[in-house]
Structure 1
Amino acid sequence: MKIRNRVGRCWWALCHGVTSLLLLGPYLATAILVVVGALLTPVAGAGYPVLLLGRVLARAAAALERARYRVLHAVHVEPPAPRRLPWLRLPLDPVMWRTTAQLGVVSTVGATLGTVALVLVTTGAAAVVAPFLVDRVHWPFGIPGTVGAPDAVVVAGGVLVAVGGFLLAPALTSVEVAAGRALLRPPHQAEDALRRRVETLTSSRERTLDSVEAERRRIERDLHDGPQQRLVAVALQLGMARRALERDPGADVSGFLTAAHGNAREAITDMRSVARGIVPPVLTDRGLDAALSGLAASSPLPVTVEVRLGTRPHPAAETIAYYCVSEALTNVAKHARATAARVQVWRDGAELRARVSDDGVGGARPTGSGLTGLADRLGAVDGWLQVDSPPGGPTDVSVGLPGFPEVTRGR
């Protein structure tokens, strides 16, 4: 396999050298148009038509170069974002000049090194076949039909030269490829990447804040509809018992007390349900393994839990991983029509990873409301979400959390 890959790289590098020779003329003409247009532009704008033509041709040549790198070397060079420049700034377009420099590299260094590789390979091939053809050729002017060296030496030398040129082709073309990757990428790639990163984090932060606000309203609604109503009932029943005792110290208030006791127990149960939706105490006390085992035990379908962690992760990472697994298991129970599920949590270097798999019908979409919330929660801490759910199943939901700084935990 390694030999096949090496031969493939040499072959595509040789093809690159040949195409550099074929593109020598068009590229050189384009570079000349750009330079001449830029030089003539200060003369009453006479060079603008030439400069515009050169700029268009340079843009087409840059697209062709990116295609060459992608096809011949499996190298992707990101194109710069399209920008509109005012007329007066056209001669100063950095993308145009970087492309022109690349065309100059192809027309000089690339064409020269491509010629060297091609000459070596073709000369060696010619030396290999020459002894077999020289006696059959009718040479003019009485040139003898023999070679100056023994045929075996000529063939061996031709093989060495051809193989050497073939193996040297990647090294000879690497100079041009490196120059192309440096010159054809966006001139402000770092700034563009930083801007995209800021935009992503801003969008993720906004969605996270919306999610937190929605969660706050849910908790408030759950407290209002559940424990608060129970506690109000407890207060009313205790108040009625007190008034009954004030009217008649010997009155039987056991019914009021029994009802108040029942409502108090129901309020405690409701409070536990609400608290379980925030951060379960078992997660804080005993870690992910115990918390996920509790999730699996309360799931309506069989869930296998496998946690492989040498040490406990950061509390924030534990909490996010717990909620991701909880949401994924909820989706399995609601939509997957599965008979079983599996939860795996492990470390990959400094990264904490989790995977929830099921044998359901598949078809889960990352754009669904639940998975979008997970992606937002993970994006806020530079995590990632991957969903593999072909129609018919099975479904794998994988998440990754970056390494958080270690903390000292108390007993």
Structure 2
Amino acid sequence: MSENTMRWAAALPAVDDRGGALRVWARGWWSVVHLVLHPVVLGLHLTALVLLVVGIALVPVFGTGLLLLLPARLLVGAGGRLERYRLAAVLDVHVPAAPRVPPEGSWWRRVVLDARPWRSAGHLAVVCTLGVLGAGVVLALTGTGLAALAAPAVAGGLGHDSLSWPFGIPGTLDAPGPLVVAGGLVLLLLAPPVACAFTAVEVRSARALLGPGRREREAVLRRRVQTLTETRSRTVDSVEAERRRIERDLHDGPQQRLVSLAMQLGMAKRALDRDGPDAAREFLEAASGSASAAISDMRHVARGIHPPVLTDRGLDAAVSALAAASPVPVDVEVLFPAEQRPSATAEAIAYFCVSEALTNTAKHARASRAVVQLWHEAAPGDGLLRLRVSDDGVGGAAPAGGTVADGGSGLRGLGDRLAAVDGWLHLDSPAGGPTVLEVAVPWTAGGAR
């Protein structure tokens, strides 16, 4: 069984063996459709290849071939994009485009040594040869099979009792009608697996020639390592700043309350020893108030680290609590079921993004209303947790189309946390408003809960 056929079989729902084989065979007709479409795009591909070959041949002739290489390169690129689209639309095979990694040096080196158009031309050559050959074979199988199935009706209409193989038109080679029909059925049964074999080769060629090559993959990995190094450094700085903030909050809040509580208890003890219970009552009441205030301050600090409601009840309840506490009216729309929860890391990052956005809205936006939307977006892997926070305020938080780098330090810290888990943050806040903050974080970032 070909690679494509096995891939299709794995994508099908669980059925019994006979139903599964029948469904795989039926899906194979998509390979037939893909091959039959080859003659439609053959003109574009052949034009691109002919211009490329003639242009290369004429380069030594006073450089005249350069006039053909530019349109050839454009057509080769268009052909490669068309093939990626056809593979995705017909066969559901998604081939990512190779990122542009220009060679270092002069402009002609960057143009001539860019491997992408040459590799695309190689795939177009495969389509124009093996693909068109496969289209001819599949058309012959299906056409002959359909003609054989229709042969009895054709022969009966012409008044003949016997049929000629394989087209059913009376001739010198006669065969019984049931044998012709059986042969037609066999040809139609063979067409999908033969088409799958041809498209499997074509898919391998597309992934090898249209997708990222070794050089592009290495460049992507180098950029990834550089990004991770930078985000790690910024994340460490952000964690250190968060640690200092928590230390400052504890010092300014609960620690002062506890010091006051200790002093009041000491004064209550001395008053009790000196003047009796009535004199100590006032100090004990003050100490009780200090203890309650210390507990409240501790809860406030704990919510700033990680709110318990987020762990217990999820994003919907936690974001709703933020909206209820906001001085600006906030509408919350959570567009995934409460039982469908992302990882704890994704929830925490999304929560603090919403918290930072609503805090900025209350402080600076002069808005009359804000809207928070959260949803699960389909993407490779388990998808993305997406959120959007918008308000109708005065805007100006960043230049139009600006990113997190243009925003405040709070958003920059969140942007660093997002970059560390392959997420992103975009802030659009033109002067006069509205302000829209969009965030995406991998649904399973940080592992399972």
TM class by shorter-chain length? 0.5 to 0.7
What is the total number of aligned residue pairs between the two structures?
337
* Structure 2 residue 295 is the aligned partner of structure 1 residue 269: yes
Amino acid at match of 1:66: R
Residue among 208, 221, 239 paired with 1:194? 221
Shift of 1:225: 3.8
Shift of 1:75: 1.4
2: distance between equivalents of 1:267 and 1:333?
Answer: 21
User: After alignment, is 72-81 or 99-108 more displaced?
Assistant: 72-81
* Structure 2 residue 121 is the aligned partner of structure 1 residue 100: yes
2: distance between equivalents of 1:100 and 1:128?
Answer: 40
Q: Secondary structure, in 3 states, of the residue corresponding to 1:45?
A: coil
2: distance between equivalents of 1:47 and 1:383?
Answer: 46
Q: Do the aligned residues in 2 keep the contact of 1:9 with 1:170 (CA within 8 Å)? A: no
Shift of 1:214: 4.8
C-alpha change, 1:136 and 1:229, in structure 2 (3 Å) is: closer
C-alpha change, 1:4 and 1:265, in structure 2 (3 Å) is: same
Residue-by-residue CA offset, 1:12-58 (whole Å, 9 max, x unaligned): 21122122234334423322321332343355432211111110110
Q: Do the aligned residues in 2 keep the contact of 1:234 with 1:259 (CA within 8 Å)? A: no
Amino acid at match of 1:96: P
2: distance between equivalents of 1:250 and 1:144?
Answer: 129
* Structure 2 residue 37 is the aligned partner of structure 1 residue 37: no
Aligned-residue CA RMSD (Å):
5.0
Residue among 395, 400, 406 paired with 2:444? 400
Q: Do the aligned residues in 1 keep the contact of 2:101 with 2:216 (CA within 8 Å)? A: no
1: distance between equivalents of 2:345 and 2:261?
Answer: 46
2: distance between equivalents of 1:117 and 1:44?
Answer: 45
Amino acid at match of 2:444: G
Residue-by-residue CA offset, 1:105-160 (whole Å, 9 max, x unaligned): 01111111221121111122223323432465699xxx976751122212211221
* Structure 2 residue 33 is the aligned partner of structure 1 residue 12: no
C-alpha change, 1:42 and 1:223, in structure 2 (3 Å) is: farther
| Residue aligning to 1:284 | none
2: distance between equivalents of 1:273 and 1:258?
Answer: 23
Q: Do the aligned residues in 2 keep the contact of 1:31 with 1:100 (CA within 8 Å)? A: yes
Residue-by-residue CA offset, 1:324-350 (whole Å, 9 max, x unaligned): 967764323343899xxx97699x9xx
Q: Do the aligned residues in 1 keep the contact of 2:123 with 2:210 (CA within 8 Å)? A: yes
* Structure 2 residue 167 is the aligned partner of structure 1 residue 179: no
Shift of 1:63: 1.4
Q: Do the aligned residues in 1 keep the contact of 2:49 with 2:76 (CA within 8 Å)? A: yes
Amino acid at match of 2:121: T
* Structure 2 residue 105 is the aligned partner of structure 1 residue 87: no
* Structure 2 residue 254 is the aligned partner of structure 1 residue 221: no
C-alpha change, 1:26 and 1:198, in structure 2 (3 Å) is: same
| Residue aligning to 1:121 | 142
Alignment of 1:7-406 (within 5 A): 7-81=25-99, 86-134=107-155, 136=157, 147-187=173-213, 188-191=215-218, 193-194=220-221, 197-198=224-225, 201=228, 202-203=230-231, 206=234, 209-210=237-238, 213-214=241-242, 216-217=244-245, 219-221=247-249, 223-228=251-256, 231=259, 235=263, 254=280, 258=284, 261-262=287-288, 265-266=291-292, 269=295, 272-273=298-299, 276-277=302-303, 295=308, 322=311, 329-335=317-323, 363-364=373-374, 366-368=387-389, 380=420, 400=444, 402=446
1: distance between equivalents of 2:442 and 2:206?
Answer: 37
Q: Do the aligned residues in 1 keep the contact of 2:238 with 2:413 (CA within 8 Å)? A: no
Structure 1, unmatched stretches of 5+, are 281-291, 297-320, 385-396, 405-411
Structure 2-normalised TM-score? 0.58
- For the pair shown, the structure with the greater C-alpha radius of gyration is 1
Q: Secondary structure, in 3 states, of the residue corresponding to 2:444?
A: strand
Amino acid at match of 1:190: R
Shift of 1:166: 3.5
Structure 2, unmatched stretches of 5+, are 1-12, 14-19, 161-168, 325-330, 349-370, 375-385, 391-409, 425-440
C-alpha change, 1:107 and 1:382, in structure 2 (3 Å) is: closer
Shift of 1:163: 2.3
C-alpha change, 1:235 and 1:26, in structure 2 (3 Å) is: same
Shift of 1:206: 3.7
Shift of 1:228: 1.4
Q: Do the aligned residues in 1 keep the contact of 2:231 with 2:419 (CA within 8 Å)? A: no
Q: Secondary structure, in 3 states, of the residue corresponding to 2:174?
A: coil
| Residue aligning to 2:435 | none
Q: Secondary structure, in 3 states, of the residue corresponding to 1:366?
A: strand
C-alpha change, 1:67 and 1:8, in structure 2 (3 Å) is: farther
Percent identical across equivalent pairs? Answer: 32
Q: Secondary structure, in 3 states, of the residue corresponding to 1:76?
A: coil
C-alpha change, 1:326 and 1:198, in structure 2 (3 Å) is: farther
C-alpha change, 1:117 and 1:168, in structure 2 (3 Å) is: same
C-alpha change, 1:372 and 1:158, in structure 2 (3 Å) is: farther
Q: Secondary structure, in 3 states, of the residue corresponding to 1:23?
A: helix
1: distance between equivalents of 2:81 and 2:241?
Answer: 47
C-alpha change, 1:3 and 1:374, in structure 2 (3 Å) is: farther
2: distance between equivalents of 1:95 and 1:75?
Answer: 20
Shift of 1:62: 0.8
